[in-house]
């Protein structure tokens, strides 16, 4: 059972079985109407038509609960979409610069994980790379970069982790290229 609220605020209630509507309820006349001419729908229709108390209860449920609650939920949804649209427009007009940090984790004595976290950037496309002694580190088993993930404020974040040996004598820099930076790159050195 359910209710539908049309854009012109007309309402329709219905009952279904196995995904098919078979009865609808006219809230103005408190009566049931066949949606399908089947044995089941005719039987249910005859039973429901004879129980006026049940029809009155259904009328109250649909009119006072289903439709009113649906109107409230639709208003909440409209307000939410409006806020989201305003935030998106603001972000599109004002590209957000990425905020980047580099830190280390030591899972074992012979391994150092360099973690590069980039967040709060908009729009979504971004290029991130680790540089070892000025040369880009190619994709391999020691490099793990996450997918781009959304933040609650409609900006994005990304994490790139490079596994190295402690005190290996190399210099490491993280490079970010993003539309908000223009032709420049953001370089964040480690150590």
**Contact status, residue 186 vs residue 129, Cβ threshold 8 Å:** no
Neighbours of 174 (CB within 10 A): 24
CA 68, 73, 77, 79 dihedral sign is positive
| Per-residue pLDDT tens over the stretch 104-159 | 998 888 899 999 999 999 999 999 999 999 999 999 999 999 999 999 988 999 99
Q: Which domains does the chain have, with CATH numbers?
A: 2-93 (3.30.500.10), 99-190 (2.60.40.10)
Q: Is this prediction's pTM over 0.85?
A: no
């Amino acid at each position: 059972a359910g209710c539908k609220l049309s854009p012109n605020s007309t309402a329709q209630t219905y009952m279904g079985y196995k995904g098919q509507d078979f009865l609808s309820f006219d809230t103005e006349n408190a009566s049931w109407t066949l949606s399908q001419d089947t044995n089941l729908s005719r039987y249910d229709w005859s039973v429901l038509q004879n129980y006026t108390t049940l029809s009155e209860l259904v009328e109250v449920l649909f009119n006072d609960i289903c439709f009113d609650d649906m109107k409230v939920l639709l208003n909440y949804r409209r307000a939410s979409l409006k806020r989201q649209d305003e935030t998106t427009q603001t972000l599109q007009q004002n590209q957000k610069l990425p905020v980047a940090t580099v830190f280390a984790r030591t899972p074992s004595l012979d391994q150092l994980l360099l973690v590069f976290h980039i967040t709060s950037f908009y729009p979504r496309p971004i290029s991130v790379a680790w540089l070892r002694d000025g040369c880009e580190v190619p994709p391999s088993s020691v490099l793990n970069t996450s997918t781009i993930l959304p933040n609650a404020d409609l900006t994005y974040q990304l994490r790139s982790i490079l596994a190295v040996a402690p005190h290996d004598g190399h210099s490491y820099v993280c490079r970010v290229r993003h539309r908000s930076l223009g032709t420049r790159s953001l370089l964040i050195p480690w150590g």
